[in-house]
Structure 1
C-alpha cells in the first residue's frame, strides 16, 4: 500500500521513492556497522532502492567508512504490465483464481478500464537469491525494494551457512523465522491477544524480535536482554498464525509445510521453532498491482440513547429517498451504512449512550460523492431527535483511492539481480540472480473438518463464557481475505477445540458479518493445538479500498474471542490456574 501511495508522489517529484525511516535508520547506523563488522539487508528502498543505495554510499564516502553498498532490482513491473494490458486487454491471473469456490470481489477487474482506472504500481514479491549474490560480492549494506517480508532473513542465513538453493528444509525453517520477526514488535508482545494477563507496563516501549538461525534451519526467537516485551510460546504461536493461508507457506525460494511445526520455550524470552518441511517453490510469485479505483468518502453521524435502532433506520430511509430524488442511486460503486457501537443499558454518561453511523461511499467520479453530500445537507434538518455530527463534514469530501489486484507472475520471467556500487555511487558490478533450479506446482490448499471428532459432553458441565477466556488468537489480511487462527493452552483441551470449531461454527460466530458469497477453508496445527481458517472475501479488493473500518482484519480475532459460547467449566478453571501461576512468577 505504501508503494502505491508513494508511486504517485514520486511521479510528481514529491517523494524520493524510498521509505524515509529507512534512510533515518541507515544514517544512524552506518558508523556502527563499520565498527562492529555487521551487515544490513533492508527492504526500505521501496520504489527507488538505487536512489537510497546511492545516498547511503555518498554518506559512507563522506564519513570515510569504506562500506560496500548494493541494491536489488527486478521487482518493478509497472511498464511491463501496462504494455501487456494495452496489447492483450487481459489481466494476469488473480491470486485466488485457481480456487473455483472463491468469488472475486465486485469490481475486482475494474483495472481493465485503463483510462478510467489507470495503473499506479506493479511490484513482484522477490525471494532471497539477489540478496545472497550481493553478500557474495562483499556488500555490507543491501537495499531492496519489494522483496517478500521474510526474504532478508532467508538471504542472511542462506549466505552465512553457505546453503545451496535446494536445501529446502533449511530454507523453509528460515522462512518461518523471517515471518515471525518481520512485523515490527509483533514477536515481542505487540498485537498479542494475551496481553491482559501481564502487567501493562510490559508492553510499553517494546523491543524488536531477533531470529537466531542455525545451520539445520531451526531457529530461536528472542530479544535483547533488559528490554520491555516478552517472547514466549503463546505470543510466538499467535504471530505464527498471523497472515498464514493454510499449512503451506510460500516464498519465491521455497514452499514451507508448517502443518507439524513445533514451538517450544527453551529459556527466558527464548522460543525454538522446528519440524518444518521444505519443498521446491511454486512456479509463480505474487504480483501486487495497484490502480486508481475512483473516489471515496465517509460521513460520520451520531445518535444518543433512546430508540437508537429506529433512528438509524430512519436516517438510512431518508438518505435513500433523497438520493433517488436526485437520480443518484445508481451512481455509486458502493454505498454502505455502518452502525458502530451499542448504547449501554442504563448509561452513566452520554458517551456510553452514543453510537455512530459511518456512511461509506465509493464512486467513479467526485461529482457523485458531492451529490451525496448535497443530498444529505438538504435533509440534514429533517433529522431524528438527538442527531449530531463528529466535528464537521470534511471526511465526507471525496478523495482518490487506490484499489489492489493481487496477481500471479511466472518466476522464470523475472529479471532479478543485484548491483554493487563503487565509492562514487556508480555501478561497479551487476550480477543476475538467476532462478530456482526447479519448481513444484501446488494443489488446492487443505480444507477439512477434524478427523478426531469427540462428544463435547464428555468434557463435563459447561457454562456461557467468552471464547477468548480459553483461547488465544491472531488474525490479519491477505488481499480480500481474512486469516484467523486460535489455540488452547493445554493438550487435553485440543480435542474440544477441533470438534467445536467447525466451518459452520465459524459462520455462526461471524454473525451478521457473514455473507453467502464468502468461502471458508479450515485446517489444523496439531503440535501447537491450533485450528486455522481463511475466510475469503470480507476485505473486498484489499486494504486500500476496503469498506470495513478494520480494513486489515486485525480486530477480527478479538471479535470472535468476545463471542459467548458454551465452554467446559474445567477449562475455565485450568486457564485461571495458568494466569495465577504467571502472576506469581511475575
Structure 2
C-alpha cells in the first residue's frame, strides 16, 4: 500500500467559478489530482433546462473551456482530473472530452460515472412523476430532473482502469476527493475512519476559495483577498490531512478559515455520505505551519442505507416589482399601494407576498437613504396572471397612488421558477456504473454494511463562564459564522476562534462556554425574527468551539423558488453576527 500523502487540489466550487483556476492550480505547484465541483441544487435545474433544449447537453460547458487550455499541461505533469461536471449527461461530456483531446492531438484515457439519473424511474420509485404519470395526477409539477447522490467507488474503479480524466454525474461534493484518496491508498469499503477523514478533507476544499479566506467573517485579516489561491488537501494513509494552498498565492489557510468551511451546509454531529458517515464531532484542527492546517482525529461510521435524491421541477411562473417609498409616512404609503394593487388585479395570484424593507433614514442627506423599498412577489401556474395582468395593474398606478410614486424597474412578463424537493431512495435500487475508456461497464455494488443515521446525544455543556460586567455589542465581536442552503432549509454555524488567552487562562474556552450557554434556539429566534415559527435545531460541536443551527423551511421550496431576498441564506450568518447581545466585558 502507498503511504506517501496524496496531494488533491480543487479548481472549482460551483458552475461559474474562476475560469482560470484550473490553469493556476496546474502551474502553481505539485499535485497528484485536480478536482472540480460544478454542481449544486440550482445547477441541476439549470442543466435540466439545457438538456430539455438539446439532449446532447446537460453538463458544465465551462469545464471543456478549461480543459482546452489545460489538458496538455495536466498530462505532462501527470495530474489526474476528477470532476462532477458531467451533471445530467456525463456520457456526453466524456465524449466531448475525447473529441477535444483528438482535436488537440492528445492521447487521453477518459472514463465516466453514471447511474444517478432516476428521472425515467420516478414513477416506479414513488417520486413526483413526469407529465402524464402519477406526479401529474397528484397535482404535482412535472419533474425536470431526479438524481441520486452517488459515492466515490465508481471514481475509484475508473482510476484503477488508468483514466487520466474522470467525469461524473451527481456524486456528493466530497466524493471527487474521496475517490482519488481511496484509489491512491487502496482503502477498503469498511475503512470508515480513513474514508471519513477524506470526506472531511473533501468537504473543506469542495467550495474552492471559501477554505482560503473567501466569504470569511474576519475578511479584513486575510492577505491578498483580491485573488485567493484555491485549496489543496494533502491526505495521508490514515485519512488525516493537511489543508494548504500553493505557495505565493493570495488568501489564508488557518484553523478559522477551515472551521468556517467545515460548518458550511451541515446538520448535526453525523454528516452522512454514500460511503461513510462522518462524525463531525470528532474533527480536530491544529495549525501546522503557515497556510497549513492539520485535520485529525476523524472518526467514521457505516453509511446510511438510503441515498439522497435531488428532485427539480417547474413550480410555475413568478413576477416581482419593488416600489420606492421616499420621505414621510412610509407605512401609510405602503398600505395605500398595497390596497390599490390588490384591488386592481383581475385574478388574485396563487401567491402574493409583500415585504417592506425599511432602508430609509430620518432627515436623510440623500434621496436614496430617505427611501424604503416595498417588494411585491407573485407566483401562479398561469403566466398571464403574473405577467400581463400583474404588470399592467402595477404600472397603471403610476399617477394615481402615493406621492413620489416610482419603482426600481417596471415589471415585465412572468418568469418560470423551479422547485427543489429532497427525496430518498434505497441505495440498492440505484445503479452505480463506471464506464471505462474502452466502453467496459462495471457495476459498483452498494455498501454491504449500513447504519441508519440517528441524532447524537447532545454533549454536556461546559461549565458556565464566570459572571461579570457585560456590554451590549454585536455578536460578531467574538464569533464567526458561516451559513448556507440545503433545499428549503438553511444552516448557520457559529464559532469562537481558538488561541485567544488572557491572565485568567484560555479565553477562547471561556468564549465557547458563553456561546454554548447563551446562543440557544430561543435566543436565535429572538435575534433573527424571520425564524419565528420555524423549526430550529441546535447542535453543539465542542471540538470546533461551535454551535450549529438548522432552520427548516426558511428558504421555501429551494433556491430557485426565491422565498426571501437572500435565497441561498449566504448572508444569514452575517445578519446574526450583526445583532447586538450582552457579552461579558472580559471576553472581549
TM-score (structure 2 length as normaliser): 0.87
Counterpart Cα distance in 2 of 1:184 and 1:293: 31
Whether the 8 Å contact between 1:450 and 1:499 is mirrored in structure 2 is no
Q: Which residue of 2 aligns with 1:99?
A: none
* 1:51 lines up with 2:99 in the alignment: no
* 1:562 lines up with 2:586 in the alignment: no
**CA drift at 1:437:** 1.9
- The residue correspondences of 1:370-449 to structure 2 (distance < 5 A) are 370-394=388-412, 397-422=413-438, 427=439, 429-443=440-454, 445-446=455-456
Q: Identify the range of structure 1 (347-356 vs 169-178) with the bigger mean alpha-carbon deviation.
A: 347-356
The count of corresponding residues between Structure 1 and Structure 2 is: 532
TM-score (structure 1 length as normaliser): 0.87
Which residue among 241, 255, 259 is the counterpart of 2:277? 255
* 1:81 lines up with 2:122 in the alignment: yes
Whether the 8 Å contact between 2:48 and 2:144 is mirrored in structure 1 is yes
- The residue correspondences of 1:14-25 to structure 2 (distance < 5 A) are 16-25=57-66
The two structures, once aligned, show a CA RMSD in angstroms of: 2.0
1:549 is paired with a residue whose SS is coil
Q: Which residue of 2 aligns with 1:508?
A: 526
Whether the 8 Å contact between 2:321 and 2:410 is mirrored in structure 1 is no
Q: Which residue of 2 aligns with 1:335?
A: 352
Whether the 8 Å contact between 1:446 and 1:523 is mirrored in structure 2 is no
Q: Which has the higher contact order (CA 8 A, sep 6+)?
A: 1
* 1:357 lines up with 2:398 in the alignment: no
CA displacement, residues 157-187 of structure 1 (integer Å, 9 cap, x when unaligned): 0000111110000000110110111112111
**CA drift at 1:338:** 1.5
Counterpart Cα distance in 2 of 1:421 and 1:449: 49
Whether the 8 Å contact between 2:539 and 2:548 is mirrored in structure 1 is yes
Counterpart Cα distance in 2 of 1:537 and 1:46: 26
Counterpart Cα distance in 2 of 1:297 and 1:460: 52
CA displacement, residues 229-259 of structure 1 (integer Å, 9 cap, x when unaligned): 1111111111111100111111100001111
Counterpart Cα distance in 2 of 1:115 and 1:521: 32
Q: 1:293 to 1:123 in 2, by over 3 A?
A: same
Counterpart Cα distance in 2 of 1:135 and 1:241: 30
2:203 is paired with a residue whose SS is helix
* 1:479 lines up with 2:487 in the alignment: yes
- The residue correspondences of 1:547-586 to structure 2 (distance < 5 A) are 547-572=563-588
* 1:37 lines up with 2:73 in the alignment: no
- The residue correspondences of 1:118-517 to structure 2 (distance < 5 A) are 118-198=142-222, 202-323=224-345, 326=346, 328-329=347-348, 331-332=349-350, 334-369=351-386, 370-394=388-412, 397-422=413-438, 427=439, 429-443=440-454, 445-446=455-456, 451-452=461-462, 454=464, 458-489=466-497, 490-511=508-529, 513-516=530-533
- The residue correspondences of 1:5-16 to structure 2 (distance < 5 A) are 5-13=46-54, 16=57
Give 5+ residue unaligned stretches, structure 1: 93-109, 573-586
**CA drift at 1:309:** 2.6
Counterpart Cα distance in 2 of 1:420 and 1:150: 22
**CA drift at 1:319:** 2.4
**CA drift at 1:111:** 5.2
Q: 1:15 to 1:393 in 2, by over 3 A?
A: farther
CA displacement, residues 28-71 of structure 1 (integer Å, 9 cap, x when unaligned): 22211211111111111111111111121223334443221101
Give 5+ residue unaligned stretches, structure 2: 1-41, 498-507
Whether the 8 Å contact between 1:446 and 1:521 is mirrored in structure 2 is no
Q: Which residue of 2 aligns with 1:523?
A: 539
Q: 1:507 to 1:115 in 2, by over 3 A?
A: closer
